[in-house]
Chain A
Amino acid sequence: MIAVKARRATGNGFFYFAVLLIIVFSLFPFYWVLATSFENNQELSLGTRGLWPAVWTLQSYVTLFHQDNFLIPIANSALVAACTTVISLFAGVLTAYALVRLVPRARVAVLSFILATAFFPVIAMVGPLFFAYKDLDLLNNYLALIVTYLIYALPIGVWMLVSIFSQIPKDLEEAGMVDGATTRQILWRILLPLAVPGVFTAAILSFILCWNDFVFALSFMTSPDRYTAPLAIVNLGQSQYQVFYNIIDAGVVVTTIPIVVLVLLAQRRIVAGLSAGSLKG
């Protein structure tokens, strides 16, 4: 990691005003969504009358979970994101190990290929993959999303793991080799335990990126019981006469909470991982 050399704040009012502005701009919309989600339908139809809702009820959450069965899309999202994350970490660890230790000469070529796929326009994948999944009878199947989401998870995973593995000194592995450990043992017993914090970060990033997908779920999942959370949100709270933002916002809150928890758990590492992934090219 880079040495953090922050400069001391000059401590004037303008500076702290800017800081406050950043925090308010980032978080106030969340407050608005949260407050709206606690309004009931009658309150909502009266329009906005203040910063603080007159009534706080759980009515929209009851509707969300009972009528709209929102737990199903949440579970779908979690299942798909978790499967993709596990597959991408497994493939990513093998690839990174091969590129760092076994065939370092292939590193530039393989990493360039992986980077190129990361830049591939996601929308250009939709048509051909739709066709392929239709022929393979995989439309509306979790597998279609699990495989496709690797385009989000695998490139950044490999990129981060390569940067992590490169920082681990060879000594321990060489000691293992002298003691007669096989490559597999060296990888799983020696290298991987040392890389755990980095692998953890890659897992969180991968999970977030999969959780956030919309276009593939929209294109490949046709029945509501297979919708992921973002896709379900788009279909929430619609009626002929009114858009029920309280119910939509309840869905937004429920979908956002897992992400907030992950971000707060690993904010330092995510920031370091993002910048390592993008600056060490």
Chain B
Amino acid sequence: MATEASSGFEVLELRRPPLWWRLRSRTMAGAFLAPTIVLLLAIAGFPLAYNLFNSFRHLVLTEPGTERFVALQNYVTLVTSGQFQQPFVHTFLFTVVSVAIEFALGLGMALIMHHQFRGRGLVRAAILVPWAVPTVVSGMLWKNFFDPSSGFIDWAGAAIHLPTANLAWLNGVWTSWAVILVADAWKNTPFLALILLAGLQVIPDDLYEQGRIDGAGVLRRFWYVTMPLLKPAILVALIFRTLSSFLIFDVIYVITGGGPGNATETLSYLNWQAFLVDTDFGYGGAISVALIIVAVIIALIYMRVLRVET
């Protein structure tokens, strides 16, 4: 030690820190990590455990004194009742359709913004605003936009003689979904576009140059150069969007309230109703557990794809 220390300057970095220092810094690290970990365990870990626990019990707030262990009964209800199947199908289809539309639009937007042009900053600011506004705001905004009396669509349709005059969009099942899809795409496409744009910007230009020399056209360069290199960004963007699309709640609550009838009820909406309208925390817990499982599956599928492909 003594000889090392006397040999000079660089030793300072090579020498292992003394034990007391290492212990102290480890204790300190524990203290530094504790608030975050404790808080996240309290607000996410606890709900996970409590939902799981409640899902095996009969626990309805408005029926005090009836709490009891019911084994799998809540799950049996969940699988056998149409009350769950219909929202499940809705949610699944909505997720597939909305993510597909938003991905196509987002990729288009990203490819456009990848060019250098006057007003590029303006476009970025313009698409960031829909992304940043509350979902309730975007829901209300589009509900108003499609309103048969004071909406733009009604007026514009009449102006170009479309048969949409006084069409009550939210009275029909398909038209309700259309409004929901537009509201969702308007708010979420910018996120996809920005992630994909960031992915595009790290692809080296030489590769396109190489492709051009090899005689590849625009489409071939896109398919063989852009797409493979964009894969990590695509996967990240798709994981985030698929999960949040699958859990859609705010837009449904604001625009249709699950209607007409219960035609636009999604799983999150069903779950919220179970908790706060029916105060059934057993059945609600079972739906939550199902949602968590699906979320994990979605994340695993994408991670699997990512690992296999890279």
Contact = CB atoms under 8 A, between A and B. Distances in A.
Interface of A: 2-11, 15-16, 18-19, 22-23, 25-27, 29-30, 32-33, 36, 44-45, 47-50, 90-92, 94-95, 97-99, 102-103, 106, 110, 113-114, 117, 119-132, 147-148, 150-151, 154-155, 158, 178, 183, 208, 211-215, 218-219, 229-231, 233-234, 243, 245, 248-249, 252, 255-256, 259-260, 262-264, 267, 270-271, 274-275, 278-279, 281
Contacts of A22: 109, 112, 123, 126-127
Nearest to B296: A119
A245 B275 contact: no
B195 interface: yes
Interface stretch (B48-56, B72-80, B173-181): B48-56
B142 A110 contact: no
A208 B125 CA distance: 15
Given A126-B276, A154-B40, A7 B116 contact: yes
B125 A48 contact: no
Nearest to A256: B133
Given A129-B47, A252-B141, A271-B128, A6 B115 contact: yes
A250 to B, nearest CB: 11
A270 B112 CA distance: 20
Contact of B243 (A91, A119, A208, A263): A119
B249 A103 contact: no
Contacts, number: 300
Contacts of B168: none
A201 to B, nearest CB: 13
A29 B271 contact: no
Nearest to B147: A245
Contacts of B150: 36, 44, 47-48, 245
Interface in B23-76: 25-26, 28-29, 31-33, 35-37, 39-40, 42-48, 50-51, 54
A123 B247 contact: yes
A214 B272 contact: no
Contacts of B151: 48
Where chain B touches its partner, the secondary structure class is helix
29 contacts: A2-B201, A3-B201, A5-B204, A8-B115, A9-B116, A10-B115, A15-B115, A32-B152, A47-B155, A48-B155, A94-B33, A95-B35, A106-B29, A120-B292, A120-B295, A123-B272, A123-B288, A124-B51, A130-B275, A150-B40, A151-B43, A154-B39, A212-B132, A214-B249, A215-B249, A215-B272, A245-B150, A262-B132, A279-B232
Interface in B191-210: 191, 194-195, 197-199, 201-202, 204-205
Interface in B266-282: 268, 271-272, 274-276, 281
A26 B127 contact: yes
Q: Quick one: which of B45, B54, B250 has the most chain A CB within 10 A? A: B250
How many B residues touch the partner, as a band?
35 or more
Contacts of A117: 40, 44-45
Given A47-B149, A94-B32, A267 B124 contact: yes
A245 B50 CA distance: 41
B47 A128 contact: yes
B179 to A, nearest CB: 12
Contacts of B132: 208, 212, 259-260, 262-263
Nearest to A50: B155
Contacts of B122: 23
B236 A132 contact: no
A127 B275 contact: yes
A123 B271 contact: yes
B159 to A, nearest CB: 9
A102 B29 contact: yes
Contacts of A262: 132
Contacts of B155: 47-50
B33 A9 contact: no
Contacts of B121: 267
A278 B199 CA distance: 10
